[in-house]
Structure 1
Amino acid sequence: MKQHHKVTLVLCAIWMATVFYGEMLAFWMPSLWSCSWPHLLNPSINGGDTSSGYAKIAVITDVQLMDSTSLRLPPKSLGLEFAQFYTDLYMRRAFFESVLPFKPDVVLFLGDFFDGGPFMSDEEWQESLQRFKHIFGLNVEERHRNIQVRSIPGNHDVGYASIMSHKREVVRRYEKEFGTRNYGFTVGKVEFVAVDAQTLDGQPRGNLSYNSWELVKIVSEDVQVLPRVLLTHIPLYRPDHTLCGPHRNSPIINQRISYSAYTQEVVYQNYLSEESSKRLLELIKPVLVLSGHDHDQCTVTHSSKFGTAKEHTVGTFSWQQGNLYPSFMLLSASNTLNTSTSFPEEAVLTQLCFLPMQTHIYIWYLCLLALTLIAGLFWPSSGIDFGHPLSGLMSFVRLYGGMFGGGTKEKVDEDCEYEMMWDAEGTMHLVKKSRNMPPPSPNDRASVERGNAVMRPTAKRISSQDLEAAENTDSNGSGEFDPLIKLGHRTSKSRTKMIIQRLVRAFLMVSVIAAVNVPIYMMLLFKDWVDK
Structure 2
Amino acid sequence: MTEYDDYGVPVGAYQEPDSFTGQTYRTARAFLIYSVRPFVEKRVTQGRWKRLFSLANALVAIWWVVVYWGERGAFNGAVGSCNWDAWENWEEGASPHRLVFVADPQLVDPHTYPGRPWPLNPLTMKYTDQYMRRAYSRIQTELYPDTVFFLGDLFDGGREWSTRTTKSPEKQYQQYGDSYWMNEYRRFGSIFLDHWGDGGLQPRPGQPGRKFVSSLPGNHDLGFAKGVQIGVRDRFHAYFGDGNRIDVLGNHTFVSIDSVSLSALGVPSSQELEEVWRPTVDFLSGAKQQKRKLIQRELRVQRGLRPYPGFPHYEIESQDFPKATLPHADDEVTEFPTILLTHVPLYRAPGTPCGPLREHWPPSPPPAGQPSPLEHDERNAISVSGGYQYQNVLNKEISADIASKIGDIRYAFSGDDHDYCELVHRGYASGGGGIREVTVKSISWAMGVRHPGFVMVSLWNPVDAHGKPVKGDMGRTVQTHLCLLPDQLGVFFRYAGLFALTLVLLSGRAALVAGNALPQQPLTSEDPILPMANIPSGAEAEKSALAQQRFGADDYTHSSNSSTSSNANGNLQVRNAQARTRTASPANGYGLPMPMPHQQNTTYSHPLVQHAGYYGDEDSKKDVKTYGSVSTKSKARKKGFALFRQELKSSLGKVMICGLGWYFWLIWHG
Asked if Structure 1 and Structure 2 have the same fold, meaning a TM-score greater than 0.5 normalized by the shorter chain, the answer is yes
Counterpart of 1:134 in structure 2 is: 190
* Residue from 485, 505, 527 that aligns with 1:355: 485
- What is the 5 A alignment of 1:338-349? 339=469, 343-349=473-479
Task: Report deviation, 1:6.
Answer: 2.6
Residue type at the aligned position of 1:361? V
2:15 alignment partner in structure 1: none
Q: Deviations over 1:306-329 (max 9, x none)?
A: 431111100100011111010011
Against the structure 1 CA distance between its residues 345 and 30, is the aligned structure 2 distance closer, same or farther, given a 3 Å change threshold? Answer: farther
Contact 2:87–2:481 (CA<8 Å) still a contact in 1?
no
2:299 is the counterpart of 1:157: no
RMSD of aligned residue pairs (Cα, Å): 2.8
Kindly report which structure 2 residues correspond to 1:297-446, keeping only aligned pairs within 5 A, or say none.
297-303=420-426, 304-306=428-430, 307=432, 308-334=434-460, 336-337=462-463, 339=469, 343-379=473-509, 424=516
Amino acid at match of 1:48: E
* CA shift for structure 1 position 374: 1.1
Task: Please say if residues 287 and 344 of structure 1, whose CA atoms lie closer than 8 Å, have aligned partners that are also in contact.
Answer: no
Match of 1:180 in 2: 242
Number of aligned pairs? 405
**Is residue 61 of structure 1 aligned with residue 88 of structure 2?**
no
Letter in 1 for 2:414: S
Matched, 1:290 2:413: yes
Q: What secondary structure does 1:371 align onto? A: helix
Counterpart of 1:209 in 2: which secondary structure? helix
Go from structure 1 to structure 2 and tell me whether the alpha carbon gap of 1:333 and 1:323 turns closer, same or farther (over 3 Å shift): same
Asked if 1:211 corresponds to 2:279, the answer is yes
Instruction: Write out per-residue CA displacement over residues 342-392 of structure 1, whole angstroms, 9 at most, x where no aligned residue.
Output: 633432221110111100000110111111111111237769xxxxxxxxx
Which residue in the other structure is 1:194 paired with?
Answer: 256
Provide the rounded CA distance (Å) in 2 between the counterparts of 1:48 and 1:139: 32
Q: Which amino acid aligns with 1:148?
A: K
Question: Hey, what does 2:87 align to over in structure 1?
Answer: 41
Distance in 2 separating the partners of 1:342 and 1:283:
27
Deviation at 1:3, TM superposition (A): 10
Provide the C-alpha distance between the structure 1 equivalents of 2:158 and 2:449, rounded to a whole number of angstroms: 21
Give the 5 Å matches for 1:482-501: 497-501=639-643
Match of 2:233 in 1: 171
Residue 3 of structure 1 contacts residue 381 of structure 1 at CA under 8 Å; is this kept in 2? no
Report the residue type matching 1:57 in the other structure: L
Q: With structure 1 as the length reference, what TM-score do the two structures score?
A: 0.70
Match of 1:78 in 2: 119
8 Å CA contact 1:195, 1:231 repeated in 2: yes
Alpha carbons of structure 1 residues 24 and 141: separation in structure 2 relative to 1, 3 Å: closer
Q: Higher mean Cα deviation, 237-246 or 355-364? A: 237-246
Q: CA contact under 8 A between 1:296 and 1:316: conserved in structure 2?
A: yes
Q: How does 1:99-110 map to 2 (within 5 A)?
A: 99-110=140-151
SS in 2 for 1:20: helix
Alignment-derived partner of residue 574 in structure 2: none
Higher relative helix content: 1
Which segment drifts farther, 208-217 or 129-138? Answer: 208-217
The offset of 1:31, in angstroms, is 3.6
Mapped partners of 1:134, 1:91: distance in 2: 11
Unmatched 5+ residue regions in structure 1?
A: 259-265, 384-421, 427-495
SS in 1 for 2:193: coil
Shift of 1:78: 2.8
1:505 alignment counterpart: 647
Seen in structure 2, the aligned counterparts of structure 1 residues 207 and 340 have a Cα distance that, compared at 3 Å, is farther
Equivalent position amino acid for 2:285 in 1: K
Q: What amino acid is aligned across from residue 395 of structure 2 in structure 1?
A: S
**Which of 60, 63, 87 is the matching residue for 1:12?**
60
Partner of 1:470: none
Which letter does structure 2 place at the counterpart of 1:240? P
Higher relative contact order (CA 8 A, sep 6+): 1
* Cα contact 2:219–2:389 (8 A) shared by 1: no
Contact kept, 8 Å, 2:141 with 2:199, in 1: the verdict is no
Q: Please report how far the alpha carbon of residue 4 of structure 1 lies from its aligned counterpart in structure 2 after TM superposition.
A: 11
What's the counterpart of residue 396 of structure 2?
A: 274
Aligned-pair distance for 1:500?
A: 2.4
Matched residue SS, 1:208: helix
From the superposition, tell whether residues 88 and 519 of structure 1 become closer, same or farther in structure 2 (CA, over 3 Å).
Answer: same
Query: Structure 2 counterpart of 1:250, which letter?
Result: H
Distance 1:78 1:331, change over 3 A: same
CA contact (8 A) 2:350 2:384 kept: yes
Determine if contact 2:137/2:198 at 8 Å carries over to the other structure: no
Structure 2 CA distance, aligned partners of 1:140 and 1:327?
Answer: 18
Separation in structure 1 between the aligned mates of residue 53 and residue 506 of structure 2, nearest angstrom: 10
| Partner SS state of residue 117, structure 1 | coil
CA pair 143-170 structure 1, distance change in 2 beyond 3 A: farther
**Contact 2:100 2:148 (C-alpha < 8 Å) held by counterparts:** yes
Letter in 2 for 1:211: P
What's the % identity of the aligned pairs? 29
Match of 1:244 in 2: 354
Q: Distance in 2 between matches of 1:218 and 1:321?
A: 36
Contact 2:352 2:382 survives alignment (8 Å)? no
Counterpart check, 1:113 vs 2:159: no
Shift of 1:216: 1.9
Per-residue CA deviations over 1:444-476 (Å, capped at 9, x if unaligned) read xxxxxxxxxxxxxxxxxxxxxxxxxxxxxxxxx
CA contact (8 A) 2:144 2:199 kept: no
Q: What secondary structure is seen at the aligned counterpart in 2 of 1:23?
A: helix
**TM-fit CA distance, 1:92:** 0.4
Aligned 8 A contact 1:98 1:355 in 2? no
Q: Which residue of 44, 69, 77 corresponds with 1:29?
A: 77
**Contact between 1:299 and 1:311, CA under 8 Å: does it hold in 2?**
yes
Partner of 1:123 in structure 2? 179
- The 3 A distance-change label for structure 1 pair 100 and 111 is farther
Shift of 1:95: 0.7
Asked whether the equivalents of residues 151 and 414 of structure 2 are also in contact (C-alpha less than 8 Å), the reply is: yes
- Per the TM alignment, residue 144 of structure 1 is displaced from its structure 2 partner at its CA by 6.9
- Of 195-204 and 322-331, more deviation after overlay is shown by 195-204
Q: Give the partner amino acid of 1:79.
A: L
AA in 2 matched with 1:96: S
Task: Say if 1:282 and 1:129 are closer, same or farther in 2 by CA, change over 3 A.
Answer: same
Whether 1:148 aligns to 2:211 is: yes
For residues 518 and 142 of structure 1, what CA distance do their matches in structure 2 show? 28
How far apart are 1:79 and its partner, in Å? 2.7
| Alignment TM-score, normalising by the size of structure 2 | 0.57
Flag the 1:219–1:60 CA change in 2: closer, same or farther, 3 A.
same
Q: Work out the CA distance in 2 between the residues paired with 1:242 and 1:341.
A: 34
Deviation at 1:143, TM superposition (A): 8.3
Distance 1:57 1:26 in 2: 23
Deviation at 1:267, TM superposition (A): 4.2
Q: Which amino acid letter does the alignment assign opposite residue 188 of structure 2?
A: F
The one-letter code sitting in structure 2 at the alignment partner of 1:517 is: G
Matched position secondary structure for 2:459: strand
Aligned-residue offset at 1:226: 0.4
Partner-residue secondary structure (3-state), 1:300: strand
How far does residue 138 in structure 1 lie from its aligned partner after superposition? Answer: 3.5
Between stretches 295-304 and 506-515, larger displacement belongs to 506-515
CA pair 142-79 structure 1, distance change in 2 beyond 3 A? closer
2:660 maps to which residue? 518
**Letter aligned with residue 116 of structure 1:** G
Conserved? CA contact 2:79–2:485, under 8 Å: no
